[in-house]
Structure 1
Amino acid sequence: MKANETQLRVGDTIRVQIKRLGINGEGVGFYNKKVTFVTGALPGEIVIAKVIKPLPNRIEAETVTIQQQSEDRVKPPCPIYDECGGCQLQHLSYAAQLREKQDIVRQAFDRYTDYDAHHLPLKATIGMEDPWNYRNKSQFQVAKKGTSVLAGLYGIGSHKLIDLTNCMVQHPKTTQVTNTVKTILEDLNIPIYNEKKRTGIVRTIVTRVSFETENVQLVLITTQRDIPKKDILLAKIQEELPEVKSILQNVNGKKTSVIFGDETIHLEGDHTIQETLGDLSFELSARAFFQLNPVQTVKLYNEVRRAAKLTGEEKVVDAYCGVGTIGLWLAKRAGEIRGMDVIEDSIEDAEENAAKHGITNARYWTGKAEQLLPKWLKEGWKPDVIVVDPPRTGCDMTFLQTVKDIKPKKMVYVSCNPSTLAKDISYLSKHGFKIERLQPVDMFPHTSHVEVVATLVRK
């Protein structure tokens, strides 16, 4: 049904000219002066779209037909691209993805800061030579369909599980191991978690592969400690998957969308898996945060090192440090590194990683930066540079207030969400900092995500 000019209803069709790409990979235009988000549409296109949600402040719609097609539109190579919610931009050429991701950063600063978005020190996005098979980790939910075990991601805008037997952005070893584990669970008839009924045991299969060695760590997320036929299960995994060098179990019996629970149990093999970045290698435990794209991580961390401009004397804080990757990357050029994280396992990994490389100027604490930094300041220790790599939600406000009070000479902010980056920088720019450089890095080709290394200096 064609849309009425005054009031839109679900199912109405509208004609929209797409101006730009949104932060979730949708096309953004206007209909009757109201901002309109159209999934499947690209900048420069004119589309007929079906209204999904007519809201007071915006319209959400999906592409029905394309009247004027973008020169950057390509055929998605993945056969289930339209069903799976894992990628959002396979229908856009890779060169155009890099250009649009730079623009997504610009849009965020235009919306959330007082900076002139067209005069930002914003660089071109650093891309990949081969933007496929780059993810070193998968977390696939499992379900039962008849006698078959499925494992994959939930479909776009639904709670229907899409069985991913192959994924073009995953390292092939992760999907190979997942597929074999599915078959073993199926053959042994081990109870699979049913989210609606809250019955069953195995709820998620997590795999992480080392790009350097192609060894795999397998984590089974279960609702309880006891797994029926556990010994047979482990024997079959070891027999059929010799590349799996570490088998762990994590217990999460809560009704939650959070993957990991608090308890991790070592089952077989090594406790950790080793990954290499440049001339550094890292021991990774099951819950430890580590970048998902090792190839681009080297480029990302080199940008952090470039931004920090260390001379060998500086005191550096690595906030939200995870297993210590960024701090260790900087250690040889710093006077002292101090890192912190709230996950104790990560801190243990960071200490082990530093010791293994003979790095003696890096120390680590379990805790929050906003609590540790004021304590150190009272003790007479003040950082010259603060490096932070927070989650998508951005920095905690108490942390930003702490940075404001401590007044480091420089802050290097590694962000995976341009919107929260812009909001946080808006606060910092009102309290003595200015942007020196914004460098987007494409860590996740074919998705709408973009990483940014922001360099902030004291005014």
Structure 2
Amino acid sequence: MQNQKNKQTQVSMKTGQRFPLTIKRLGIDGEGVGYFKRQVVFVKGALPGEEIVCEVTKVHRKFAEGRVRKIRKASPDRTKAPCPYYDRCGGCQLQHLSYEGQLREKKDVVRQAFERYTKLSLDRIEFPDTVGMEDPWRYRNKSQMQAGNADNKLIVGLYQTDSHRLIDIEECIVQHPKTDEVTRTVKEILEHLNIPAYNEKKRTGVIRTIVTRAGFETGEVQVVLVTATDKLPKEDLVVEKIMERLPFVESVVHNVNSRKTSLIFGDETRVLAGKEKIRETLGDLSFDLSARAFFQLNPVQTKKLYDLAKEAAALTGKEKVADAYCGVGTIGLWLADGAKEIRGMDVIEASIEDARKNAARLGVDHAVYEVGKAETWLPKWNQEGWKPDVLVVDPPRSGLDDSLLDTIRRVNPKRIVYVSCNPSTLAKNTNVLVKGGYRLKKLQPVDMFPQTAQVEAVASFELS
């Protein structure tokens, strides 16, 4: 009986099979979603409303993946991707969709997540259109380009989607121009000095990643060379050439990551030249950023995102605000002028050091920052008689874990401002918060990463 049941749930398609398919919507990774004999098919590059001929590329137990063999009816939002690497690079997913279409579909992705994981009716909740950009290009202030070898040459770029094949990228049109220039030049310097890329399989070589961060407002630039070795060969020459050819670079840093991991940074970081940190400005606030410090990648949209968070916090000057996942203190310091006190926490010690220094430099003397998890500090502060009126959370894509959700229910702040980078985990967490007595007041999608499938959202909750 169980075998029969399994057969019923098995997708009855074969690799290479072709059939007409109407695309109904976009999936969370930017692929078109259609249904063949009531079974789900995900098709990279297909757009909602299109009628295509689909070829099955992979069959899973409950769904299939396919590619476009022919477009019989194209979407009016379909456009030609301007990037020459677009069909190979895994960095962007939606350059073939007009920007107006991207904003519309990203709102729908948020809607889909809430329809799938909650019983809430978004028609009864304030749910505006996605907040977009006037110019949705050249917005990223940080690049992390992987190093590799091809035909005995050093290449630097990004991995192809669902592959470990590195695409050599000379220019990325969603990156700040300075990050492109620095990456290209550093690559040429390393090539000229015969410093090899790290080979993951053979565990040989040196350079793993070239990380570049550029201040949009300040113009300050930092380059980080991540190596698999404790020492950077020809270190003095590398630094000399970088400072000679890139005089605007204010900070050259070496980070060591000798572990077998997909994480970019290791634990050991040292400054080779210039400053340890660069400065970036958001509105009237400026922040000092160390190599590993988290900072929003799109400063133009970050101002809009933080203004929305501030609006959701509804501060009057009397509130105590807890800032979980605070990083270098950006959101909390953005809210500080309307709060009685800010308390933030983060598990990365360097970020907390930066947050404390940022607060001191900005004259924000009512902000406290601690190393550790929110689920540790919130109960501790609660026992000491300090309870937040407003809790701000900006978690990773995995969302809030169970222990923090339990802590929130015990501490019961009046309002929660949830800045999300994953609609699915936001929806799942919303379920728990609603059961715990909170009401979702507003759900605002924000496009922090144009041309990609990613969508952020600011959700505001109030204790019922």
Shorter-chain TM-score: what band? over 0.9
For 1:34 and 1:21, the matched residues in 2 are separated by 16
The DSSP-based 3-state class of the residue aligned with 1:373 is helix
For 1:413 and 1:236, the matched residues in 2 are separated by 45
1:278 paired to 2:283: yes
The aligned residue for residue 220 of structure 1 is 225
Query: Which of the residues 212, 233, 242 maps onto 1:237?
Result: 242
The DSSP-based 3-state class of the residue aligned with 2:138 is coil
The aligned residue for residue 343 of structure 1 is 348
The DSSP-based 3-state class of the residue aligned with 1:125 is coil
1:145 paired to 2:186: no
The aligned residue for residue 406 of structure 1 is 411
Query: Which of the residues 438, 451, 456 maps onto 1:451?
Result: 456
1:48–1:63 Cα contact (<8 Å) kept: yes
Q: Map 1:182-197; keep pairs closer than 5 Å.
A: 182-197=187-202
Q: In structure 2, give the amino acid aligned to 1:178.
A: T
Q: In structure 2, give the amino acid aligned to 1:314.
A: E
For 2:455 and 2:115, the matched residues in 1 are separated by 17
- CA deviations on 1:88-136 (whole Å, 9 max, x unpaired) are 0001000110010000000000011111244442111000000000000
The aligned residue for residue 25 of structure 1 is 30
The aligned residue for residue 214 of structure 2 is 209
Shift of 1:176: 0.6
| TM-score, with length taken from structure 2 | 0.96
The aligned residue for residue 247 of structure 1 is 252
For 2:196 and 2:65, the matched residues in 1 are separated by 39
Query: Which of the residues 441, 453, 462 maps onto 1:436?
Result: 441
The DSSP-based 3-state class of the residue aligned with 1:111 is helix
The aligned residue for residue 268 of structure 2 is 263
Give the gaps of 5 or more residues in structure 1: 1-5
The aligned residue for residue 393 of structure 1 is 398
Number of residue equivalences: 454
- CA deviations on 1:295-333 (whole Å, 9 max, x unpaired) are 000000000000001000000000000000000000010
Aligned-pair Cα RMSD in Å: 1.0
The aligned residue for residue 163 of structure 2 is 158
Q: Map 1:58-97; keep pairs closer than 5 Å.
A: 58-97=63-102
For 1:100 and 1:357, the matched residues in 2 are separated by 39
For 2:39 and 2:55, the matched residues in 1 are separated by 15
The DSSP-based 3-state class of the residue aligned with 1:371 is helix
| TM-score, with length taken from structure 1 | 0.98
Q: In structure 2, give the amino acid aligned to 1:344.
A: E
The DSSP-based 3-state class of the residue aligned with 1:332 is helix
Q: In structure 1, give the amino acid aligned to 2:399.
A: G
The aligned residue for residue 370 of structure 1 is 375
For 1:157 and 1:369, the matched residues in 2 are separated by 34
Give the gaps of 5 or more residues in structure 2: 1-10
Shift of 1:437: 0.3
1:107–1:117 Cα contact (<8 Å) kept: no
For 2:262 and 2:366, the matched residues in 1 are separated by 39
For 1:134 and 1:423, the matched residues in 2 are separated by 30
1:125 paired to 2:126: no
Between 160-169 and 139-148, the greater mean CA deviation after superposition = 139-148
Shift of 1:145: 2.0
For 2:325 and 2:194, the matched residues in 1 are separated by 41
Shift of 1:396: 1.7
For 2:177 and 2:154, the matched residues in 1 are separated by 20
1:322–1:346 Cα contact (<8 Å) kept: yes
Q: Map 1:421-432; keep pairs closer than 5 Å.
A: 421-432=426-437
Shift of 1:147: 4.0
Q: In structure 1, give the amino acid aligned to 2:341.
A: E
1:106–1:118 Cα contact (<8 Å) kept: no
1:111 paired to 2:116: yes
The DSSP-based 3-state class of the residue aligned with 1:208 is strand
Q: Which runs of 4+ in 1 moved over 4 A?
A: none
Shift of 1:153: 0.4
- CA deviations on 1:172-213 (whole Å, 9 max, x unpaired) are 100110000000000000121011211111110000000012
2:154–2:196 Cα contact (<8 Å) kept: no
For 1:183 and 1:296, the matched residues in 2 are separated by 33
Q: In structure 1, give the amino acid aligned to 2:359.
A: A
1:417 paired to 2:422: yes
Shift of 1:397: 1.3
1:147–1:186 Cα contact (<8 Å) kept: no
The DSSP-based 3-state class of the residue aligned with 2:338 is coil
The DSSP-based 3-state class of the residue aligned with 2:442 is strand
For 1:456 and 1:408, the matched residues in 2 are separated by 10
For 2:13 and 2:425, the matched residues in 1 are separated by 32
- CA deviations on 1:191-249 (whole Å, 9 max, x unpaired) are 21011211111110000000012221111111122111111111111101111111111
- CA deviations on 1:1-24 (whole Å, 9 max, x unpaired) are xxxxx9421111122111111100
2:18–2:53 Cα contact (<8 Å) kept: yes
1:276–1:282 Cα contact (<8 Å) kept: yes
Q: In structure 2, give the amino acid aligned to 1:132.
A: W
1:55 paired to 2:85: no
Shift of 1:56: 2.2
The aligned residue for residue 304 of structure 1 is 309
For 2:286 and 2:151, the matched residues in 1 are separated by 43
1:98 paired to 2:103: yes
For 2:389 and 2:361, the matched residues in 1 are separated by 26
2:209–2:264 Cα contact (<8 Å) kept: yes
The aligned residue for residue 3 of structure 1 is none
